[in-house]
Amino acid sequence: MKSSNWAYVYGMAAVILWSTVATAFKIALGFYSPLQLVFVAVITSIVTLGGILAWQKKLPLLKQQLLRRPAFYLITGLINPFLYYVVLFKAYSLLPAQQALSLNYTWAVLLPLLAAPLLKQVLRKSDIAAALIAYTGVFIIATGGDVSDFNFDSPLGIGLALTSTLLWCLYWIVNTKDQGDPVVSLLLSFTIGLPFIVITLLLTDTLPSFSPDAVLAGMYVGLFEMGITFVLWLMALKTATRTANISTLVFLSPVMSIGFIAWILQESIEVSTFIGLGFILTGMMLQQLLPRFLERKNALATGSDVGK
């Protein structure tokens, strides 16, 4: 099989697995508090990523990268997994899965808005337009479609879901400065973040249940939200002949996730969710595809001028 075909295999596998995790979050939160779920999932992810690096014979890189930039990994570990997943899982515990999922996907629109001042990147008109469209969708979902009433079922849950997007964006912005192996960096972040999770758990909560059903649910989150899926996505990007073709697969994930939520969790999907998610996806596609279209159009125009 050609490398480009393998890229689609890896990419679709990652998208399908990511599409199941919103459902898995709600199931696991039936057994655990948000902090307990973070604890079980992060331990699972650490073991999984460690096994992958051992198979790749990259374990020596852990010490090399940590000694090179210990403060950097302390910061990334505090953001992800500690703050990000505690906030995200708390949002899922307060909101229907369809709402939390849709609101969380706005991170893709928020990222360039933050990157402009923090990384000194140019803010394009398409980024601003995408944000206006996507956050219109957020407002529709948050109000349940009753946009004139300003009535939010769970203001705290909505606020936490949107805060999770901010934390995720900050994590990726910080990671633009990382020159190390991405899987090694992720394992270092999770390993350094684990003590903060344990201390907070012991001070504010109780140790999680270790019943088979609870553990399996927590392990599923650790494997397919934090561990294996991340590696599959990296392999897709690495083997792709054109990264842009693979990145568009991400648009399938929220739509498939809604399907799993309706099928497995038996949530009745609200009309406002479909409309709001449509706005969010439109904003994401505008942000991703419009600049490429304009670049291609300009390239063709330049080529035609040269031909004349």
Residue 49 has pLDDT above 50, yes or no: yes
Question: Contacts by 210-213 with C-beta closer than 8 Å and gap 24+?
Answer: 211/31, 213/31
b (16+ CB within 10 A) / e for 128-150: eebbebbbbbbbbbbbbbeeeee
Angle at CA of residue 226, ends 222 and 229, nearest 5°: 110
248 has a pLDDT exceeding 90: no
Position 145 pLDDT exceeds 80: no
Query: Is residue 140's pLDDT more than 60?
Result: yes
65-88 pLDDT, tens per residue?
A: 999 999 999 999 999 999 999 999
pLDDT of 212 over the 70 cut: yes
pTM for the whole structure: 0.89
The predicted pLDDT at position 2 comes to 56
If one counts the domains in the chain, the total is 1
Q: How far apart are CA 245 and CA 216, in angstroms?
A: 34
Assess whether pLDDT exceeds 80 at residue 302: no
Q: Which domain holds residue 26?
A: 3-307
